[in-house]
Amino acid sequence: MALKRYKKSKPLGVCTVCKDFTGEHIRMNHRCVRSHGGRRCAGIYRSSLTVVWNECPTCHGLGLVGSQKCGECAGWGWILHSMT
C-alpha cells in the first residue's frame, strides 16, 4: 500500500512571544499553552495570516523525513520567516 504524502497546511496561529505554532481554531486569540522555566508564556496565538512562512527545506513541507517527524520544523512542514 503506497503512502500518499501531502504538504501540510500552514499553522493557523503563532504565539506572539515564544513563536509556538498552533493548528487549532479554539486556541486562536487565547493564551499560549507553553511554559518557560515554570511560568506560563504570556503570549497570545495570533492569526498566522500576517506571518511570512518558508517551506521547510528539509522535508519540503511534508513534515516528515522518511517515516520520521522532521526535526527542522517539528513536523509542521513550515518555518516561520518573519512576523509583522
Residue closer to Zn ion by CB (options 1, 3) is: 3
Q: How many CA atoms lie within 13 A of 21 on its CB side?
A: 18
Alpha helices in 1-84 (DSSP H): none
What string marks each residue from 48 to 67 as x (binds Zn ion by CB under 5 A) or -?
--------x-xx--------
What's the rounded Cα separation, in Å, for the pair 72 and 74?
6
If binding is defined by CB under 5 A, does position 14 make contact with Zn ion? no
Q: Which residues bind Zn ion (CB under 5 A)?
A: 15, 17-18, 20, 32, 34, 41, 43, 56, 58-59, 70, 72-73
